[in-house]
Amino acid sequence: MDIITRPIDIVDTHTHILPSIDDGSSSVTESVSLIKTLIHQGVDTIVLTPHYYFSEISTDSFLENRKLAFSQLLDEPEIHNINLILGAEVYFSIYLHSIERLSELCIGGTKYLLLELPFMKKIDSRTISYIEKIIYNNNLIPVIAHAERYLSIGKKNIEAIQLLDEMGCMIQLNAESFLIKPLQKHCLKIIETGAVVALGSDSHNMKDRKPEMNRAIQFLSDTYGNDVTRGVINNAKLILSGKDAFLNA
């Protein structure tokens, strides 16, 4: 069960904070440190999105593992002043549209599914067609994880990102990428296409993949002003409301 204890303002849409379930946090202690850091950065709602690989684990087993990892956090008094929402970072597969319980991998019981694409020089038409199946066969809205990274693999992927946006996907950008020059350029390019963008920390640990939400939000504000920044923040809130971001754009 998700924990919602307070009004929602700033949402981190992508984290690997659940303990000992993937390549993210390795312990409850580290998970608490990551959560406390995000609270300090002004985040009040965290979406917990451990990796899900269709080829490696059944949906049933993944959901059970996620439940057990989440239960380890529930007795921690230091995290009771933040909203915790269950989700998953689902790796793309041509079979995703046909798997059972796919909707249970969505963010907080909504129709938004955080989707990680393969890293290829060009996101091809076949991949796009299977994402289309997820949208129309399952009535889900993919949130394309760390989209700026695909541009670092192939510059022409900006065209695919624009197409996915036009298809109704939301585009998620990593906070840390706004602080790294090559990736920063890709983030700005995506925002300037007018795509519906949400922010996530993609935080894994407190060493080399720590949360940077406050610095990314400040960079957005300095670069584009309050209107664009508030739009990005509100897009993440729309995910949790279950509303279609395009109807509210």
Encode pLDDT of 211-225 as tens digits: 999 999 999 999 999
Q: Delineate the domains of the chain, giving CATH numbers in brackets.
A: 11-242 (3.20.20.140)
- The mean predicted confidence, pLDDT, of the chain is 93
Reply yes or no on whether the pLDDT at 248 is more than 50.
no
Whole-number pLDDT of residue 77: 84
Residue 196 and residue 245 in contact, taking contact as beta carbons nearer than 8 Å: yes
Taking the C-alpha atoms of residue 26 and residue 90, their distance in angstroms, rounded to an integer, is: 20
Segment 10-16 mean pLDDT:
97
Phi, psi of 170 (to 5 degrees): -95, 150
Residue 138 and residue 80 in contact, taking contact as beta carbons nearer than 8 Å: no
Taking the C-alpha atoms of residue 170 and residue 64, their distance in angstroms, rounded to an integer, is: 27
Tell me the three-class secondary structure of the chain, residue by residue.
CCECCCCCCCEECCECCCCCCCCCCCCHHHHHHHHHHHHHCCCCEEEECCEECCCCCCHHHHHHHHHHHHHCCCCCHHHCCCEEEECCEEECCCCHHHCCCHHHHCHHHCCEEEEECCCCCCCCHHHHHHHHHHHHHHCCEEEECCHHHHHHHCCCHHHHHHHHHHHCCEEEEEHHHHHCHHHHHHHHHHHHCCCCEEEECCECCCCCCCCCHHHHHHHHHHHHCHHHHHHHHHHHHHHHHCCCHHHHC
Amino acid (1-letter code) at residue 61: S
Higher local confidence (pLDDT), 227 or 244: 227
Structure-token pair, residue 59: 């949906």
Reply yes or no on whether the pLDDT at 44 is more than 50.
yes
Whole-number pLDDT of residue 6: 53
Locus of tokens 């993944």: 62
Encode pLDDT of 125-142 as tens digits: 999 999 999 999 999 999
Encode pLDDT of 74-96 as tens digits: 888 888 789 999 999 999 999 99
Reply yes or no on whether the pLDDT at 184 is more than 90.
yes
Tell if the pTM clears 0.85, that is, is over it.
yes
In the chain, the N- to C-terminal Cα span, in Å, equals: 30
